């Protein structure tokens, strides 16, 4: 019995295995996208600058032109634009893009409510 206590078993302890949360999996994926950096820059600028922000601003304008929501939508666009123009790595630009899209969706929901 004494030897069993002195020598821990070699079985895997499930608590010691790394746990990959959704966030860590997403960040690993975003880091692997570095080879497509210029494609992501083009897609983010085109989607956010030509589709998402104009739609958000139109919805803001049609629902009463709330200045706070307008400034929030422009700040979200600025977040996506600044990270791309600063040539940040994709592990920063992709999450910033998704965060700015989330902010725009929140602004649209706030307008419609």
For residue 7, what pLDDT is reported?
56
pLDDT in tens, 27-62: 899 999 999 999 999 999 999 999 999 999 999 999
For residue 8, what pLDDT is reported?
57
pLDDT in tens, 77-101: 999 999 999 999 999 999 999 999 9
As a whole number of angstroms, the longest Cα–Cα distance in the chain is 78
CB atoms within 10 A of CB 76: 25
DSSP tag of 20: -
For residue 67, what pLDDT is reported?
95
The token duo for 47 is 């989607």
- Give whole-number Cα distances, 32 to 41, 59, 84, in Å: 15, 35, 17
**What is d(CA 105, CA 64) in angstroms, rounded to the nearest whole number?**
17
Non-local CB neighbours of 40 within 8 Å, separated by 6+ positions: 33, 90, 93, 94, 97
For residue 19, what pLDDT is reported?
76
**What is d(CA 81, CA 76) in angstroms, rounded to the nearest whole number?**
9
The token duo for 28 is 């690993």
């Amino acid at each position: 019995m004494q030897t069993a206590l002195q020598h821990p078993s070699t079985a895997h302890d499930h608590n010691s295995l790394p746990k990959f949360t959704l966030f860590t999996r997403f960040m690993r994926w975003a880091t692997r996208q570095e080879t497509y950096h210029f494609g992501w820059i083009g897609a983010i600028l085109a989607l956010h600058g030509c589709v998402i922000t104009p739609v958000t601003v139109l919805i803001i304008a049609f629902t009463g032109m709330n200045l706070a929501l307008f400034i929030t939508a422009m700040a979200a666009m600025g977040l996506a634009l600044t990270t791309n123009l600063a040539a940040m790595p994709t592990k920063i630009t992709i999450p910033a893009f998704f965060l700015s899209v989330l902010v725009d969706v929140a602004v649209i929901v706030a307008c419609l409510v």
